[in-house]
Structure 1
Amino acid sequence: MDVNRYQSEILQNEQYWQKKPILRRIYREFHEEIARHLSSLDAPLVVELGSGIGNIKEVIPHALRTDLFANPWLDQIENAYTLSFQDATVSDLILFDVFHHLRYPGTALKEFWRVLRPGGRVLVFDPFISLLGLVVYGLLHKEPINWWQEITWYAPADWDPHQLEYYAAQGNATRVFFSRMTPTLLKDWKLVMRKRYAAFSYVASGGYSGPQLYPDGLYPKMRMLDQVLDALPPVFATRILVVLEKPPSAEHTTRT
């Protein structure tokens, strides 16, 4: 993976983060929504994978911020395919805009299963491809949707998880979690929830690098619009939160 490219994007995002108060407000609400669905396990060990600029601690202060490469604000380096945690030690794994970067999602989920405690959760917050999402991510975003590209669920037997190449397919969360194959792909997991959000207030904010299309003072009105648009997710949804749980009965089982 191109470390210089990745680090450059992180530093650019940090600059945008400091310049756009509305972005900080929106992300805080996203993180609050995620926090509401963390597991209720005692002595939680919450790990965020692919933390980027690491702002989740503002809402979940005990979360471990991790990424593929070191940065001063991160707690440790982690690779989603080969985590450093012992079996059944993690209560929650958070993937914020990370799932669509997993070239082999089934292989990653197998590793998540290994480190999660029974009753532990995987929380995926990712793009959703509705009609609006098709425009937003298909025309206005630099990463591809790859809607028609086959998803390779498991990595080849000779694959080295430490030799990662850049991968992005923004349609993958929609395809994995909202398809006829979902029950088969996730047969060992308990699907606690899958919720779609219009998040038009985020889209119109321009995200990190795009132009902000409304003044900060109109944000409450934009959130009201979000609630209206949420009623038609196939048309307007641009975000999804999926919560998977390793069943308590899995204590003495391993995922194949």
Structure 2
Amino acid sequence: MNGLTVEIGSGMGNIKQVIPACITTDIFPNPWLDRQENACRLSFADHSVANLILFDVWHHLEFPGTALEEFRRVLLPKGRLIVFEPAMGLLGRLVYSLGHHEPVAFQQPVHWFAPPDFQADDPPYFAAQSRAHRIFIQGEGSEHLVGWRVIKTLPLASLAYLASGGFSKPQLCPAALHPCLRRIDAVLSCLPSLFAVRLLVVLEKNEG
């Protein structure tokens, strides 16, 4: 499919090591990123993007419906939104509740659409780590996904990710053990309600 591949919320921009042509963006300007972008007010032209990638960004979207409208605007028909987020298996809930500073926020209401006075250019900080699990696994607010087809929801055990220390923690085990952890992950991922720590979601924009 012709069209751009864009990462929203790129942070350090490491995705270019895997997808060199990916356009990296973040809400804050940084010299190593390609563009400054806001998920609720993108500067890309209508129907110009083939793939939008959000890595640990979805749980920072206070108004996911507003963001989805903008994603639909820039995506080509059958363009894809690829989301990678915290998963809320029993292990995931324990890890994110006790070992992460952001709230899990299972009981916090989901406000899908921004109010009229919402300042998209200067949004307040927001985080709710359970947001993807509630929407894509539990089906909360599924009526707001009209216009999208859910291609994949894949909860993963991801002990290898935890052992890496994630984004900000020190590495917890030698890199040499990574292949072994990946094999254990493949087994534990068969029981996502117990062991899921990460969640991959792929949405496809319906034609029209």
Q: TM-score range by the shorter chain?
A: over 0.9
Counterpart check, 1:190 vs 2:149:
yes
Query: What residue is the counterpart of 1:32 in the other structure?
Result: none
Distance 2:125 2:139 in 1: 28
Distance 1:189 1:78 in 2: 23
Alignment of 1:9-48 (within 5 A): 41=1, 43-48=2-7
Query: What residue is the counterpart of 1:160 in the other structure?
Result: 119
Tell me how far 1:158 sits from its aligned partner.
2.1
Query: Match for 2:18: what amino acid?
Result: V
Query: What residue is the counterpart of 1:128 in the other structure?
Result: 87
Tell me how far 1:163 sits from its aligned partner.
2.1
1:90 is aligned, of 49, 52, 61, to: 49
Q: TM-score, normalised by structure 2?
A: 0.96
Query: What residue is the counterpart of 1:145 in the other structure?
Result: 104
Greater helix share, 1 or 2? Answer: 1
Residue ranges of structure 1 left out of the alignment (5+ in a row): 1-40, 251-256
- Deviation string for 1:114-133 (max 9, x for gaps)? 11110101100010111001
Greater strand share, 1 or 2? Answer: 2
Counterpart contact for 2:3–2:76, Cα < 8 Å: no
Alignment of 1:68-79 (within 5 A): 68-79=27-38
Distance 1:209 1:246 in 2: 33
- CA 1:179–1:185: 2 relative to 1, 3 Å: farther
- Deviation string for 1:178-230 (max 9, x for gaps)? 12435312122111111111101111222233233321111111111111111
Deviation beyond 2 Å, 4+ runs, structure 1:
180-183, 208-213
Counterpart check, 1:228 vs 2:187:
yes
Number of residue equivalences: 208
Distance 2:28 2:140 in 1: 33
Distance 1:217 1:86 in 2: 45
- CA 1:89–1:208: 2 relative to 1, 3 Å: closer
Distance 2:141 2:189 in 1: 22
Query: What residue is the counterpart of 1:219 in the other structure?
Result: 178
Distance 2:45 2:171 in 1: 44
Distance 2:186 2:36 in 1: 37
- Deviation string for 1:91-113 (max 9, x for gaps)? 11100000000000010001101
2:66 is aligned, of 97, 100, 107, to: 107
Distance 1:133 1:181 in 2: 19
Alignment of 1:172-183 (within 5 A): 172-181=131-140, 183=142
Q: TM-score, normalised by structure 1?
A: 0.79
Counterpart check, 1:239 vs 2:207:
no
Name the SS for the 2:73 alignment partner: helix
Residue ranges of structure 2 left out of the alignment (5+ in a row): none
Query: Match for 1:108: what amino acid?
Result: A
Structure 1 vs Structure 2 CA RMSD: 1.1
Query: Match for 2:156: what amino acid?
Result: Y
Distance 2:85 2:179 in 1: 23
Alignment of 1:42-61 (within 5 A): 43-61=2-20
Name the SS for the 1:46 alignment partner: strand
1:67 is aligned, of 26, 34, 42, to: 26
Distance 1:152 1:54 in 2: 29
Query: Match for 1:87: what amino acid?
Result: D
